[in-house]
Structure 1
């Protein structure tokens, strides 16, 4: 395994981070324990979760993933062996079953952190992240900026002050942002410097062969400000494995089970996926490993968040760390990207 410093923090995180969003929905607790044990044995020291998980989010399963991780920590008594990240949920009508409608104000953030600490059976969270912004902006695949008409969002300053309070209390070691824009990232860092508050050390945004929009406005910002990218969806919901091509519907696969995950299924994305899979096959590479290796190779990526619903998938994903893409492969990837840039933002 390889390790990288997470932003300006003293944390050295594994280049591959274990994602957990299927635990409690597609994966049982026993399967989650098996994944956790194996990942740590392979040198992964970074686990990412959220109070919202598992996905798709719903009232019946909300917070179940954190509870599974907490049970594992209690049974293994190994909290000092890994770096743990979780997230506080932003607002949205589709999550109103949480705290009567979650907000990013002080009351909600402090309550969410305490609940996560309890479920996770830990006294501290290494990295506490804002899952998505309070304000109206373009995230979750929306490219066009929608100017808010009558916005009444909690300010970033109030959100940051609450996060800073958690850091000062010792409940949280470092803070991060997620699904953020260049303006939002700038504002968090600007306010932290101006007010002497905790500075974000990471940004968790989507990044994969079908969606490289992070490179347009955020890559330089992340590089120059030392804000490490935690890349999520590096395989585009599994689409870049090629398993959904030609109308295939693999049993128990995410896009087979949940039609709402259509972000990477438009005609342009399918066409680009076909070309990426062809590149992998031509060079005798596993398409999924090629997709993961590309993300891990980017200099602004601090950690690449992998997920799996089976041990075979997890083992193959972890093995991607040993794959160094040849210049010829990278050139062909760039050729497809130039021809079909960001077909599924």
Structure 2
């Protein structure tokens, strides 16, 4: 009774925000990826059986967790996004499957469930659903719009994204050969987004990827030969200023951005008295840590540029759930990475699979599901403002939300130590692979160990100058 009374008091304190989660049965299970002593060409000596995300085999702590979930489900947390006035839930509802893998009815069910459990931020994009194509473009926004008609618009933070430089998305614009982040493109994008979404303002407008060349979506290197002239930062910010003045956009942010881009946007805004970016939407997960942890954490720190991270793909496109490790392809034929060959290919490589298997074993060791471990890790990072979760079924969405509101957190020091051990082993192997691809080292090169140590230590807070091996940087 005392706990229920406390929950009611918290609920009253948070009004008029969406109601928080109030407890439900937990689906506590493990992935069916289990280690066995075998020989042959299997994935690192692991037997892979038919996959389901839930209700397969209870963990040793299932009974304890079932009791906990019935009385100790925590309230959704809300955090200020950068230096904006937006208070957003620790979970953001991702929608990129709406209109491709999800019907309008399914999309509405998931949006309603998310809101009922405290989520107040919805993320979309002008190019959604994915994979991006002319035939389906805009369906995601239309599904959100039809759902919003039965809701109070001011209760939600609606975030969308406009495309950066791309010849492949030219169909988004009238009589264009390429999309850019200039005044004309920005204005056209916003006007069309407002119409599709059925709203007269956007809370957060983000640049989906930069106008200038940057390595994107799994590329590991900055190819200097691909540098190109881009729309000046000041011109982009002036266009956003016009839309803010018109009341069509409240705040702006970036996505798939680098430290250079964040700092240039912030510096230009300060210098010219223009709107400052308040957020960065970059991929971050157990399988994608390096590019944000190395320096963007420092750049985006509240005492520095104060740019809030909206972390996307916290499950690595679903791979960290373990579903892509199974041998029965029929069971996962409709899973995103199998349904669209080549999409998010970076999560299907041998190193990613090897790391995923090891993370699943860490989860099992500590009485967690793979999803609980992966989402718990991102949830507990102090530099993450909100985690974007997407789902193709209500069942998946429930499991993901449970990982935040039901699973006990933060992860223990013992869990974190095991995660770091897997990470260090994986990054050492990845370093060798990268250096070999760049023809910097050979398989027997004597500098391999020193080079790997430099890379690994750099990821843990040590700063080094440019690395030169065999005469190459």
Say yes or no: TM over 0.5: yes
TM-score by length of 2: 0.71
Q: CA RMSD in A?
A: 1.6
Larger Rg: 2
Q: Does 1:316 align with 2:426?
A: no
Aligned ranges 1:178-257 → 2 under 5 Å: 178-213=255-290, 214-223=292-301, 224-249=304-329, 250-257=332-339
Could you list the runs of 5+ residues in structure 2 that have no partner in the other structure? 1-75, 435-473
Cα distance in 2 for residues equivalent to 1:138 and 1:339? 25
Aligned ranges 1:154-169 → 2 under 5 Å: 154-169=231-246
Match 1:102 to one of 174, 179, 184: 179
Match 1:304 to one of 382, 387, 408: 387
CA 1:148–1:225: 2 relative to 1, 3 Å: same
Cα distance in 2 for residues equivalent to 1:57 and 1:247? 29
Q: Structure 1 residues 217-226 or 104-113, which shifts more?
A: 217-226
Question: Shift in Å at residue 95 of structure 1?
Answer: 1.4
Q: Does 1:23 align with 2:109?
A: no
1:137-176 CA-to-partner distances (Å, cap 9, x unmatched) read 2222222112246723222221111112111211111000
1:244-300 CA-to-partner distances (Å, cap 9, x unmatched) read 114453131101201122111111111001000111111121101210111011111
Structure-1 residue corresponding to 2:455? none
Counterpart contact for 2:212–2:227, Cα < 8 Å: no
Counterpart contact for 1:51–1:116, Cα < 8 Å: yes
Q: Does 1:340 align with 2:450?
A: no
Structure-1 residue corresponding to 2:85? 10
Cα distance in 2 for residues equivalent to 1:260 and 1:163? 34
Counterpart contact for 1:137–1:147, Cα < 8 Å: no
Cα distance in 1 for residues equivalent to 2:226 and 2:215? 15
Count of aligned residue pairs for this structure pair: 344
Question: Shift in Å at residue 96 of structure 1?
Answer: 2.2
Aligned to 2:125, the other structure's residue is in SS state coil
Question: Shift in Å at residue 197 of structure 1?
Answer: 0.6
Aligned to 2:171, the other structure's residue is in SS state coil
Structure-2 residue corresponding to 1:56? 131
Cα distance in 2 for residues equivalent to 1:248 and 1:12? 43
Counterpart contact for 1:176–1:202, Cα < 8 Å: yes
Question: Shift in Å at residue 81 of structure 1?
Answer: 1.5
Structure-2 residue corresponding to 1:266? 349
Q: Does 1:84 align with 2:158?
A: yes
1:189-246 CA-to-partner distances (Å, cap 9, x unmatched) read 0000001111000000000001102101201111132100000010000000011114
Could you list the runs of 5+ residues in structure 1 that have no partner in the other structure? none
Structure 1 stretches of at least 4 aligned residues deviating more than 6 Å after TM superposition: none
Q: Structure 1 residues 5-14 or 322-331, which shifts more?
A: 322-331
Q: Structure 1 residues 282-291 or 296-305, which shifts more?
A: 282-291
Aligned to 1:340, the other structure's residue is in SS state helix
TM-score by length of 1: 0.96
Q: Structure 1 residues 56-65 or 243-252, which shifts more?
A: 243-252
Q: Structure 1 residues 196-205 or 132-141, which shifts more?
A: 132-141
Aligned ranges 1:29-178 → 2 under 5 Å: 29-74=104-149, 76-99=150-173, 100=176, 101-148=178-225, 151-178=228-255
Aligned to 2:368, the other structure's residue is in SS state coil
CA 1:306–1:332: 2 relative to 1, 3 Å: same
Cα distance in 1 for residues equivalent to 2:386 and 2:337? 24
Match 1:284 to one of 361, 367, 377: 367
Cα distance in 1 for residues equivalent to 2:146 and 2:185? 24
Cα distance in 2 for residues equivalent to 1:77 and 1:228? 27
Counterpart contact for 2:213–2:226, Cα < 8 Å: no
